[in-house]
Amino acid sequence: MHPLFADRTVTGAIPIWPLAKADCESWLARQPASMARWAKTNKFDGSEGQVLKFPDSDGGIAGIGFGLGDNDNPLVWRALPSAVPPQACYRIDAALAPAQAALAALAWLLGSYSFTRYKSASEGADDKPRLVVPEGVDAADAGRIAEGVCLARDLINIPACDLGPEELAQAAHALAERYGADFNEIVGDALLDKNYPMIHAVGKGSVRPPRLIDFTWGEPDAPKLTLVGKGIVFDSGGLDLKPSSAMLLMKKDMGGAANVLGLAQMIMDAALPVRLRVLVPTAENAISGSAFRPGDVLQSRKGISVEIGNTDAEGRLVLADALTEADSEKPDMLIDLATLTGAARVALGAEIPPFFTDDAALAEDLYQHAENVSDPLWRLPLWKPYAKGLESKIATVNNVTDGGMAGAITAALFLRKFVTDTTGWVHCDIYGWNAAAGPGRPVGGEGQAIRALYSLICARYLPR
Residues 147 and 58 in one domain: no
pLDDT (0 to 100) of residue 72: 84
- pLDDT of the residue at 122: 58
Return left, alpha or beta for 255; rule: phi > 0 is left, psi -120 to 50 is alpha, else beta: alpha
Same domain, residue pair 65 and 169: no
Same domain, 430 and 361: yes
pLDDT at 156: 98
Count of structural domains, the chain? 2
Q: Looking at the domain assignment, is residue 22 inside a domain? A: yes
Q: Say whether both 52 and 176 belong to one domain.
A: no
Q: Mind listing the pLDDT tens digit of every residue in the chain (464 residues)?
A: 999 999 999 999 999 999 999 999 999 999 999 999 999 999 999 999 999 999 998 889 999 999 999 988 889 999 999 999 998 999 999 999 999 999 999 999 999 999 999 987 655 556 899 999 999 999 999 999 999 999 999 999 999 999 999 999 999 999 999 999 999 999 999 999 999 999 999 999 999 999 999 999 999 999 999 999 999 999 999 999 999 999 999 999 999 999 999 999 999 999 999 999 999 999 999 999 999 999 999 999 999 999 999 999 999 999 999 999 999 999 999 999 999 999 999 999 999 999 999 999 999 999 999 999 999 999 999 999 999 999 999 999 999 999 889 999 999 999 999 999 999 999 999 999 999 988 788 999 999 999 999 999 999 999 77
113: in domain: no
240 and 366, same domain (yes or no): yes
* Rounded distance between C-alpha atoms, residue 324 and residue 302, angstroms: 6
Q: Which of 128, 316, 416, 451 is catalytic?
A: 316
Q: Whole-structure pTM over 0.85, yes or no?
A: yes
Give the structural domain span for 9.
5-104
104, 132, 163 - which closes a domain: 104
CATH of the domain at 419: 3.40.630.10
Catalytic residue chosen out of the listed positions 21, 53, 242, 441: 242
**Residue 301 · residue 196 · CB < 8 Å:** yes
How many CB atoms are closer than 10 A to CB 346?
10
Q: Can you give the pLDDT at residue 71?
A: 83
Q: What is the pLDDT of residue 278?
A: 99
Residue after which a domain boundary falls, among 49, 79, 104: 104
99 and 148 share a domain?
Answer: no
> Do 252 and 165 fall within a single domain?
yes
Q: Are residues 240 and 307 both part of a single domain?
A: yes
Determine, yes or no, domain membership for 60.
Answer: yes
Residues 207 and 316 in one domain: yes
Asked which of 81, 104, 127 is the last residue of a domain, the reply is 104
Q: Is there a catalytic annotation at residue 178?
A: no
Find the CATH number of the domain harbouring 68. 3.40.220.10
Per-position DSSP letters for 122-172, written without gaps between them: ---GGGS-EEEPPTT--HHHHHHHHHHHHHHHHHHHS-TTT--HHHHHHHH
In terms of domains, do 42 and 149 share one? Answer: no
Residues 171 and 280 in one domain: yes
Residue by residue, DSSP assigns 261-291 as: HHHHHHHHHTT-SSEEEEEEEEEEE--STTS
User: Hey, is 228 helix, strand or coil?
Assistant: strand
**Is 242 an active-site residue?**
yes
State the Cα–Cα distance between residues 256 and 254, nearest whole angstrom.
5
Q: What is the DSSP letter of 438?
A: B
- On whether both 92 and 187 belong to a single domain, the answer is no
With H, G, I as helix, E, B as strand and everything else as coil, classify residue 184: strand
d(CA 101, CA 136): 8
At residue 206, the pLDDT reads 98
Query: Strand, helix or coil at 319?
Result: helix
For residue 364, count CB atoms less than 10 angstroms from its CB and return exposed for 0-12, middle for 13-18, buried for 19 or more.
Answer: exposed
pLDDT of residue 123: 55
Residue 119 lies in a domain: no
